[in-house]
Amino acid sequence: MERITITVEQEFLEALDRLIAAKGYQNRSEAIRDLARAGLRQAEEEQGGAGQCVAALVYAYDHNTRELSKRIANTFHDHHDLSLASLHVHLDHEACLEVAVLRGATGQVSALADRIIAERGVRHGKLMRIPVELDEEVHAHGAGRHRHVHAHVKRA
C-alpha cells in the first residue's frame, strides 16, 4: 500500500469523524478508502461502465398501479438472460419491495434497471453493481463434469 497525505477543512474532518463513528470504521484511512472506491465506481458508471457485473436492483412499488406487476414481469421475461433471482416482500396493503439479482453486460444490466425504475408506480429504486469477470468453466463436482459460469469479483 502507498501512503498519501491530504489536506481537508475542519468541517470535512468533523463530518468524516461522524461517519467513522456511525459506520464503525476502525480508522480514517478505511473510511476514506471506501469513499474513494464509491467515487471511482460512480465515475465509472457515469462513463457507461464497460465490462460485466453482478447487481442487485432494489425497488418499491405500488402494486395497485394498473398493469404494473404484469409490465415488470414481462420486462424481466424479455431479459431472462440477465435475471438470476428475485425476492418479493409485501410491505403494507399497497406497497411491495422487490430485489432482483442480475448478471451480465454492465450496460444491459443498467438499462434494465433504468427501465424498471422508470415504470409508473415504482416509488423508489436503486441499482448496486459489482464489477466481475465472467468465466465459463468445465470442471468436476462430485461424480460428473459440467459447464457453468463463474463470476470473479474485480478488485477496486
pLDDT in 10s for each residue of the chain, 156 residues: 788 898 888 998 999 999 999 999 999 999 998 888 888 877 766 555 678 999 999 999 999 999 999 999 999 999 999 999 999 999 999 999 999 999 999 999 999 999 999 999 999 999 999 989 888 777 777 777 777 788 888 876
Q: Which CATH code fits 52-153?
A: 3.30.70.1150
pLDDT score at 143: 76
68-78 helix and 106-117 helix, angle to the nearest 10 degrees: 170
Q: Which residue has the cell 457507461?
A: 48
User: Which residues are within 8 A (CB) of 75 and not within 5 positions of it... i.e. 6 or more apart?
Assistant: 112, 115, 116, 119
Between CA 100 and CA 14 the distance in angstroms is 37
Domain borders along the chain are 10-46, 52-153
Helices H, strands E: what count in the chain? Answer: 4, 5
26 grid coordinates: 476502525
Centre a 10 Å sphere on the Cβ of residue 16 and count the other Cβ atoms it contains: 16
CATH class of 10-46: mainly alpha
pTM of this prediction? 0.69
Q: Do domains 10-46 and 52-153 have the same CATH topology?
A: no
